[in-house]
Structure 1
Amino acid sequence: MQDLKVLSPEEIKGLDEPRISPSQNQTDYSKKIYLESYGCQMNFADSEVVTSILMEQGYSTTSNIHEADTILLNTCAIRENAEQKIRHRLQSFKSIKAKNPHVTVGILGCMAERLKTQLLEEEKIVDLVAGPDAYRDLPRLLEEIEDGNKAVNVFLSREETYGNIEPVRLHTNGVTALVSIMRGCNNMCSFCVVPYTRGRERSRDLDSILKECTNLFQSGYREVTLLGQNVDSYHWQNPATNEKVNFAHLLKKVAQLTPELRVRFSTSHPKDITDEVLYTMAAYDNICKNIHLPAQSGNNRILDLMNRTYTREWYLERIQSIRNILGESCGISHDLIAGFCSETEEEHQDSLSLLEEVKYDFGYMFSYSERPGTPAEKKLVDDIPEEIKKRRLQEIIDSQRIHSAYRNQLMIGTVQRVLVEGDSKKSSAHHFGRTDNNKVVVFPKMEEMKGKFVDVKITHCTSGTLLGELIN
């Protein structure tokens, strides 16, 4: 049996994952927007829509906040600390506002939708509040502010998808791009504020999705990630032919555009992901074999309190279907919450045992944060002390780190097809890219290969990164 070596972080100092590059300055126009994005991938995709809308009205972007006429923060409200981060960031703008009283400060996104006019009352520095469905109205709102008024639009739409807007790619490496296929969420999980900040589900029309993906490929992009709060709920009916399109059909149509375009998606809900989707993934080599399947808990009573509408047994059956249809190498990641209302120590152990049984490649792990207005806040008691939440969360993190290392070790000695996304963050002598199952690979750069598919033999790993060598 091959001796498997796992490198320590110290051994690969300088070879870790890259970070997204900042947007490029544009100086064609007089009015400049400085935009920061927080939270999920959907927020980053929305910021690209916002930029497109404003550029049509004569604005340009800048990465220098001191040059900006308007400062916008696209916000997250999923946890309390996410909102506190925004409030602290606003404090840092006071000196800018003191030097330039005419600069506009705006809050976009989920925090804006949740707090509405309350934001204007609590944060005097804020001039504009716009929810996720109000971005087309931003030019008018900015005009109101120029007239000396505060401006608010937090109307939630049942139709808005921004499907006819070509995003301006800000958060990109020129190789991978985000493509929103639907908005909103109908899953009323008791802990989650998203249905109240992003509204009901509505799916974008198929033609605009295919057009955007085609344009991206023609512009040099080689991977798209189809985004939705619950992509498996995607459904659209062609008004001309009455053809009904579900998510499996959409995946197939995007994959068929060209075999040279990789396709990813996020996020799936365990109650909705179907074998039809899994078989579609198996049928096309360019659909990446990686699924993000949030669990949230490994205990049935807690899952019921969370209103997740599935059981541990149902979840594990879905995991088994993924393994059976897509193979053991398919990457699977999760979300898990520690310390939900009334969670006992035994129920926490059920979450740890779920981690042990599945052995995920990666996970997003959090301690429970009560959100105002959610069913959990109204009906349940946030009764787990913070020190216990933190301890349980750390146990979950420690377990996941072990499993991530184990899953990475399995890839040592294999040859992986990697899409090169650019230089490693700390070493221009190394490229980085991702495997089909979404693992980061770092390898010595022989020549500039950004945007190309290459074969890399995996030689070492950490719990978070694969290291390898290029195969000629």
Structure 2
Amino acid sequence: MLEFTHTTKEHDEARQGEALLLEKEPAKSNGRKLYIESYGCQMNFSDSEIVASILLDNGFETTKNYNEADVVFINTCSIRENAEQRVRNRLKEFEFAKKNNPGMIVGVLGCMAERLKAKFLEEEKLVDVVVGPDAYRDLPNLIAQVDDGARSVNVLLSREETYADISPVRLNTNGITAFISIMRGCDNMCSFCVVPFTRGRERSRDPESIVKEAQDLFNEGYREVTLLGQNVDSYKYTAAVAEGEEPQKAVSFSDLLARVAEVNPLLRIRFSTSHPKDITDEVLYTMGKYANICKYIHLPVQSGSSRVLDLMNRTYDRDWYINRVDAINRIIPGCGISTDIITGFCTETEEEHQETLSMMDYVKYDYAFMFAYSERPGTLAAKRFEDDIPEDIKKRRLTEVVAKQRIHSLERLQNFVGKTQRILIEGFSKRSDKDYAGRNDQNAMAVFPVNAAYKVGDYVQVYIDSCTSATLIGRIVD
């Protein structure tokens, strides 16, 4: 799972993005307009930028108004149960728009494509094309098939595809922060998760292409990149060598972090997501070594109970997780830590729920994504376990988790009050163009009055006067 929102927000699937702002002109125009809407994690938003790049190279232009689009895509998410209904409702809106624009092509991309291809294509006839995460290069051909009167589908997974040679088109960009996908797929078989089935096996991008993308972004004025992967800590790249040559040393995630950090000290580095079984002291020491690697780690716990973690096939137990938290606090004092928590997983007892609450008290997370368990078709949990916790108990446990996290989030933010924080100005506050907004190293959002001496993209020193449960409030100081 990938994320970066506050505890009181819905999961990233509630976000949606349109192809609004682009950073390259299309190839010779074919006169057709593209609209993309994305749901889910940052990986989906990153994939939409790849799709836009491929189609711009084939002459498409983009639009923010789907009613005037010739091709409309939804990039989908399968993490949560309500995602399917959300997408279906949106497709029906597009179906209505299609009555006024009969030539419009509607397609579904991403994680939901494989599981629902027959339903969307044949049963409900809501879409013309279905494309999985590894088949985006085939989009021009698939669109051509629809132009010829056929419905088209490609949901084949790949062991090699990383899109390393494609320069993503930055959509909805502030020109300051950007995502860089460093790997695709997942080899972890968490019993509640569909990602290994929708995105395939892990494969890591050539580090040189990642460093080049980071350098290009910096040269274009970007000042923060987030390295993305389902499990960034398992990044491992070994270059192919000719027969008879000595194999090269594999590039680890720690190595990659250092290389990207060395692009420029003014380029701030974040990453998501880490897996507790894989995050090493080496990574932590690298984070401590480079001032421009943000001191923030998303470390999903899911449950505080070792027995439940075993049922989830998380491959670590409570003690292992606490060991990793202790290492983070020892090696990177003051590091921000966020997490994912699932309440009401199959057979979870009240005592095991209390273990989750006690884990929260131990770590005191800065942020958290918190969910009541919902069974996803095709997962190991759906095949092996009964979803036997009543909904009212799931929701009550979730309410207790959310309440505790609100207390911890406020407590963590209060630690910054009375201190000066280095903030990257990312834009204006959502509430007022008289205030700037940006985050500190620990990913805490701060708002502060506009100062004419500084502009978006500058680093500033902000004295924190107060905070809410979600936001630091301060002022720029010299």
Name 1:403's counterpart in structure 2. 408
Q: Partner amino acid for 1:104?
A: I
Deviation per CA, 1:351-373: give whole Å up to 9, x if none: 11111111000001111010111
2-structure distance, mates of 1:374, 1:19: 25
Name 1:3's counterpart in structure 2. none
Name 1:96's counterpart in structure 2. 97
- Is 1:337 matched with 2:342? yes
Mapped contact 1:21–1:173 kept (Cα < 8 A): no
Of structures 1 and 2, the one with the larger relative CO (CA 8 A, separation 6+) is 1
Name 1:370's counterpart in structure 2. 375
Shift of 1:22: 6.3
- Is 1:322 matched with 2:328? yes
Mapped contact 1:114–1:196 kept (Cα < 8 A): no
Matches within 5 A, 1:251-266: 251-266=257-272
Name 1:133's counterpart in structure 2. 134
Shift of 1:117: 2.6
Deviation per CA, 1:96-146: give whole Å up to 9, x if none: 111112100000000012223332123312100000000000000000000
Matches within 5 A, 1:104-143: 104-143=105-144
Q: Partner amino acid for 2:123?
A: E
2-structure distance, mates of 1:198, 1:314: 28
Kindly report structure 1 stretches of 4+ aligned residues shifted beyond 2 Å: 18-22, 24-29, 113-119, 238-241
Mapped contact 2:17–2:39 kept (Cα < 8 A): no
Which residue of 466, 470, 477 maps to 1:464? 470
Mapped contact 1:422–1:450 kept (Cα < 8 A): yes
Name 2:149's counterpart in structure 1. 148
Mapped contact 1:48–1:167 kept (Cα < 8 A): yes
Deviation per CA, 1:143-177: give whole Å up to 9, x if none: 00000000000000000000000000003210000
1-structure distance, mates of 2:223, 2:146: 41
Which residue of 246, 250, 258 maps to 2:252? 246
Q: Partner amino acid for 1:23?
A: L
Deviation per CA, 1:237-260: give whole Å up to 9, x if none: 133571320000000010011111
Name 1:184's counterpart in structure 2. 185
Matches within 5 A, 1:198-213: 198-213=199-214
Name 1:174's counterpart in structure 2. 175
Which residue of 16, 20, 24 maps to 1:23? 20
- TM-score of the pair, normalised by structure 1: 0.94
Matches within 5 A, 1:440-451: 440-447=445-452, 449-451=455-457
Deviation per CA, 1:301-351: give whole Å up to 9, x if none: 100000000001100000000000000x21100000011011111111111
1-structure distance, mates of 2:84, 2:358: 32
Which residue of 411, 414, 418 maps to 1:413? 418
1-structure distance, mates of 2:115, 2:224: 33
1-structure distance, mates of 2:327, 2:18: 37
2-structure distance, mates of 1:279, 1:232: 14
2-structure distance, mates of 1:19, 1:38: 5
Deviation per CA, 1:387-421: give whole Å up to 9, x if none: 11111111111110000000000110111000000
2-structure distance, mates of 1:259, 1:444: 26
Name 2:234's counterpart in structure 1. 233
Q: State which drifts further: 439-448 or 220-229.
A: 439-448
Query: Residues 157 and 192 (structure 1 numbering): CA distance in 2 closer, same or farther, change over 3 Å?
Result: same
- Is 1:434 matched with 2:425? no
- Is 1:355 matched with 2:360? yes
Q: Partner amino acid for 1:31?
A: R
Mapped contact 2:418–2:463 kept (Cα < 8 A): yes
Which residue of 422, 426, 429 maps to 1:424? 429
Query: Residues 55 and 22 (structure 1 numbering): CA distance in 2 closer, same or farther, change over 3 Å?
Result: closer
Mapped contact 2:19–2:62 kept (Cα < 8 A): no
2-structure distance, mates of 1:330, 1:171: 29
Shift of 1:23: 1.6
2-structure distance, mates of 1:392, 1:112: 32
Name 2:302's counterpart in structure 1. 296
Deviation per CA, 1:163-208: give whole Å up to 9, x if none: 0000000032100000000000000000000000000000000111
Q: Give the 3-state SS of the residue equivalent to 1:101 in structure 2.
A: coil
State the identity as a percent.
59
- Is 1:41 matched with 2:38? no
Which residue of 275, 291, 298 maps to 2:281? 275
Mapped contact 2:420–2:461 kept (Cα < 8 A): yes
Query: Residues 20 and 200 (structure 1 numbering): CA distance in 2 closer, same or farther, change over 3 Å?
Result: closer
- Is 1:70 matched with 2:71? yes
Q: Partner amino acid for 1:401?
A: R
Q: Give the 3-state SS of the residue equivalent to 2:433 in structure 1.
A: strand
2-structure distance, mates of 1:372, 1:464: 34
**Over aligned residues, Cα RMSD in angstroms?**
1.6
Q: Partner amino acid for 1:34?
A: Y
**Consecutive unaligned residues in structure 1, runs of 5 or more:** 1-8, 10-17
1-structure distance, mates of 2:215, 2:305: 43
**Consecutive unaligned residues in structure 2, runs of 5 or more:** 1-7, 9-14, 242-246
Query: Residues 186 and 235 (structure 1 numbering): CA distance in 2 closer, same or farther, change over 3 Å?
Result: same
Q: Give the 3-state SS of the residue equivalent to 1:349 in structure 2.
A: helix
Shift of 1:86: 0.3
Which residue of 311, 314, 321 maps to 2:317? 311
Name 1:346's counterpart in structure 2. 351
Query: Residues 22 and 60 (structure 1 numbering): CA distance in 2 closer, same or farther, change over 3 Å?
Result: closer
Shift of 1:66: 1.1
2-structure distance, mates of 1:106, 1:151: 9
Shift of 1:19: 10
